[in-house]
Amino acid sequence: MSLRSDWPCWEIMKCEPEQAAKCPAYRTFKPCWEAMRELDVCSFNICKDCLVYVTKQHNSIFSKEEILSIMCQKGIDVTGRHRCPQFRPIGDAS
């Protein structure tokens, strides 16, 4: 499994479908930190501490094993066998 895969933030964070549907990132299919930047709500720099943001960066301070361990502790299926039914890879408009 690649940590910089096409997993959207709502799948990594295990958002409920109703909750995800209200999210700007879910509606635009942009990385969540880009959606928040457009809304100008990054003033507290919370993205830099977010698991989603950390896993998508090429220069992460965490190793792949450390990130997988954190994700497993959060109850995230890192095997990819149980994908979110709402999941669509980035750029897939279908």
Query: What digits encode the pLDDT tens for the residues 14-68?
Result: 888 888 888 888 877 778 878 777 776 655 566 777 777 777 777 777 787 887 7
Q: How many helices (H) and strands (E) does the chain have?
A: 6, 0
CA-based nearest residue to 35, from 24, 46, 27, 45: 24
Strand extents, DSSP E, the chain: none
Task: Give Cβ neighbours of residue 67 (< 8 Å, ≥ 6 apart).
Answer: 3, 51, 54, 55, 60
Q: What is the pLDDT of residue 2?
A: 52
The more confidently predicted of residues 85 and 23 is 23
The mean pLDDT value for 72-89 works out to: 62
Query: Is-contact 8 87, C-beta < 8 A?
Result: yes
Mean pLDDT, rounded, of the chain? 71
Q: How confident is the model at residue 1 (pLDDT cuts 50, 70, 90)?
A: very low
